[in-house]
Amino acid sequence: MRTPWHDMWGCGRGPAGRLAPQTRILAGAILFAAGLTSPAGTVPGIALAAATTLGWITACGMPRRAARSFVFLGLAMFLPYFLLVPVLMKGRAFAPDWAGLARVIAAPWDVFLHGLAGMLVAAATVTALSASDLRRGLLALPVPRVVAAVLIQIVHQTAELLAETGRVAAALAVRGASGGGRAALRVLTSLPRVWLPRIIGRADRVAAAMEIRGYAETDLRVLGRSTIGLADFAVVIAVLGLLVLAAALRWRWIG
Amino acid sequence: MNGERALVFDGVTVRYEPDAAPVLAGVTFSLAAGERAALVGLNGSGKTTLLMAAVGLVGHEGRILVCGTPVARRTAAAVRDKVGFLFNVPEDQLLFPKVIEDAAFGPLRRGEERTEAYRRAGAVLDDLGVGELAEWPLHHLSHGQKQRVALAGALVTRPPLLLLDEPSAGLDPPGKMALARLLGGLGAAMLVATHDLKFAERLCRRFIVLDGGRILHDGGDAAAVQRTWGMEE
């Protein structure tokens, strides 16, 4: 069973793909931080968050369809915060008070801008990294080996878990979960009892396989290392510059 | 191996809970180097547990030797280096995102040079009929293809003992025949847990029938297996 989420990994065809995997991970993380640091209440801050996000999406060559999906997901996740505005306005004067309105909107706007920018940067980074790149990149960064190994397996096993979930969902549909009414409710409420034991059993068996194959005690760098060049240094310095700029705008070191 | 047995089970009992009924009860048999035996039995008869016990994945009473090494917690790594193990669900043992990476992991972890490890892994994948999938992500493969890739990972280090749980499951008929031919030509000792009697007969001359955790029959008579299952014509 193919899972669209897993096909996202490494589907980008942008120039960032030519960088070493560790550079792509690092640059994605720094740009994520830059997006979060940019002040959402000033035009330069908004412009910087937008520019870093769009620039990284382009550099990663994120497919348009994926970008569109994530924008819609971001809108669905972060726009509802604006529903809090009437609650926050309660008790204020009925007459329009633009300064007051701006103050009330500032909080949901902050969440919206930073959430959307962070989500898009993270998704773009995923499209610039295949699962193998992720392994090589993580192992080249100063990430504890156990953490790296667990992260790598989480990403790898996600495809199988999604497929497993798909099979459970298909079985539920066949057995009446999509038929509506009480039968559907009964089958749906049994989902945790069906799905969880399967996943736990699977985790047990994967752990046994890891033990037999010597996964835990092997330095996974034997599968291949990546080298870094001048372009990698240049990119890291450039994105660090953007992070410093975002910090300068936020804490008013400039302007 | 100087004529030593590839696998020895001597009065082996396995229980999952201290007071529970044993899943394996006093199992005794041995496999000579290069000998191939089919392990057959109904669902729940203890086949998978027996294979797991042989690599120390479940605790046991009694004595198990793999190529002369006793199976115990402290010897687990040494034992597993001598064994190629195939789980009955291939997805469980595929730990890398790309086919060739998974198949080459065994030789690489034993310190083999990268180019040589990848060449050998590619050759085994070719033998199993999935060589053209070497660069594919694993999640794009069918069940049968995953089965072959998992087998490649078990075979690539040429271990002296193979413990295979349902190796023919999910394979098409030509794939089963090719697999039986390939395994038959390896020269390794192997214990093949299977419900596929035709496959077992093609590959093995010895049949060990498990029933309720005990050995019911151990010999070269395939018809005896059918008799114990009440399947004789």
Radius of gyration from C-alpha coordinates of chain A: 23
Mean per-residue pLDDT for A199-225?
A: 85
pLDDT at position A6 is: 73
Cα(A132)–Cα(A138) distance, integer angstroms: 10
Q: How far is A152 from chain B (nearest CA, A)?
A: 9
For chain A, give percent helix, strand, coil, nearest 5: 80, 0, 20
pLDDT at position A2 is: 47
Interacting residues of A124 by C-beta distance below 8 A, sequence separation 6+: A12, A28, A53, A56, A57, A59, A60, A62, A67
Mean per-residue pLDDT for A105-126?
A: 94
> How large a percentage of chain A has pLDDT more than 90?
48
Q: How far is A210 from chain B (nearest CA, A)?
A: 7
Q: Please state the φ and ψ torsions of residue A72, each to the nearest 5 degrees.
A: -60, -40
Tens of pLDDT, residue by residue over A116-162, are: 999 999 999 999 999 889 989 999 999 888 888 888 888 888 877 77
Tens of pLDDT, residue by residue over B42-63, are: 888 999 999 999 999 999 999 9
| 8 A C-beta contact, residue B168 and residue B202 | no
CB spacing of A131 vs B105 below 8 angstroms: no
Bridge partners (DSSP) listed for residue B206 = B37
Q: Please state the φ and ψ torsions of residue B217, each to the nearest 5 degrees.
A: -155, 140
Q: How far is B113 from chain A (nearest CA, A)?
A: 9
- Give the neighbor-by-neighbor strand order of the sheet with B83-86: B83-86, B161-165, B189-193, B36-41, B206-211, B214-219
Cα(A209)–Cα(A214) distance, integer angstroms: 8
Mean pLDDT score of chain A: 86
Of B114, B130, B111, nearest in space to B122 by CA:
B130
pLDDT at position B1 is: 46
Read out DSSP for chain B? -TT--SEEEEEEEE-SSTTSPPSEEEEEEEE-TT-EEEEEESTTSSHHHHHHHHTTSS--EEEEEETTEEPSGGGHHHHHHTEEEE-SSGGGG--SSBHHHHHHHHHHHTT--HHHHHHHHHHHHHHTT-GGGTTSBGGGS-HHHHHHHHHHHHHTT--SEEEEESTTTT--HHHHHHHHHHHHTS--EEEEE-S-HHHHHHH-SEEEEEETTEEEEEES-HHHHHHHTT---
Bridge partners (DSSP) listed for residue B36 = B190
Diameter of chain A measured on Cα atoms: 72
pLDDT at position A1 is: 42
Tens of pLDDT, residue by residue over A64-93, are: 999 999 999 999 999 999 988 887 777 665
| A70 three-state secondary structure | helix
Q: Which of B93, B98, B138 sits opposite A209 (nearest CB)?
A: B93
pLDDT at position B139 is: 82
- In the block, tokens 């009414």 appear at A181
| 8 A C-beta contact, residue A67 and residue A116 | no
| Positions of chain B with pLDDT under 50 | 1-2, 233
| 8 A C-beta contact, residue B185 and residue B15 | no
| pTM of structure | 0.80
For an interface test with A, the pick among B109, B136, B156 (most A C-beta atoms closer than 10 Å) comes out as B109
pLDDT at A3 over 60: no
Name the residue of chain B whose CA is nearest to A204's CA.
B92
Of A250, A234, A255, nearest in space to A114 by CA:
A250
pLDDT at position A91 is: 64
Cα(A11)–Cα(A120) distance, integer angstroms: 15
CB spacing of B55 vs A212 below 8 angstroms: yes
| 8 A C-beta contact, residue B220 and residue B207 | yes
CB spacing of A205 vs B57 below 8 angstroms: no
CB spacing of B109 vs A214 below 8 angstroms: yes
Select the CATH number that applies to the domain covering B7-228 from these four: 2.40.37.10, 3.30.70.1350, 3.40.50.300, 3.90.226.10: 3.40.50.300
| Chain B CB within 8 Å of residue A136 CB | no
Tens of pLDDT, residue by residue over A175-192, are: 666 556 666 676 667 777
pLDDT at position A249 is: 94
String of b and e for A183-203 (b: at least 16 CB within 10 Å)?
Answer: ebeebeeeeeeebeeebeebe
Q: Which of B81, B101, B109 sits opposite A132 (nearest CB)?
A: B101
The ipTM of this complex is 0.82
Q: Which of A132, A159, A218 sits opposite B139 (nearest CB)?
A: A159
Q: How far is A131 from chain B (nearest CA, A)?
A: 6
pLDDT at position A219 is: 82
